[in-house]
Amino acid sequence: MKATGLILCALCCMLLLSCSGDKAKELLETAQFEERQMNLPHAKQLYEDVVRLYPTSKEAATAQGRLASLKQTP
């Protein structure tokens, strides 16, 4: 019974981690879309959200790079 609970807990954790990766990707894609549409204030906010909510993701690294580029743009 205890082993079943541990397995269930592990599966739930794996599911949550995979979902957060999808959310980070979705948020990054939305930010990129907003940037292409020249809605830069919203794009910046979304990039900041990616970095804040998913700091260890590969999407956060991409978002930080885009934020740095956008800060150089007048």
The answer as to whether 5 is a domain residue is no
* In a domain? residue 7: no
Cα dihedral: 14, 16, 17, 23 (round 10)? 150
pTM: 0.71
Tokens of 69: 């580029």
Which residues constitute the domain of residue 65?
19-72
In a domain, 11, yes or no: no
Within-domain flag for 33: yes
Burial (CB count <10 Å: 0-12, 13-18, 19+), residue 23: middle
In this structure, is residue 39 part of a structural domain?
yes
73 — pLDDT class (breaks 50, 70, 90): confident
The total domain count for the chain is 1
pLDDT digits (tens, 9 = 90+) for 8-57: 444 444 444 555 569 999 999 999 999 999 999 999 999 999 999 999 99
> Alpha-carbon Rg of the chain, whole angstroms?
16
Residue 55 lies inside a defined structural domain of this protein? yes
Is 29 part of a structural domain of the chain? yes
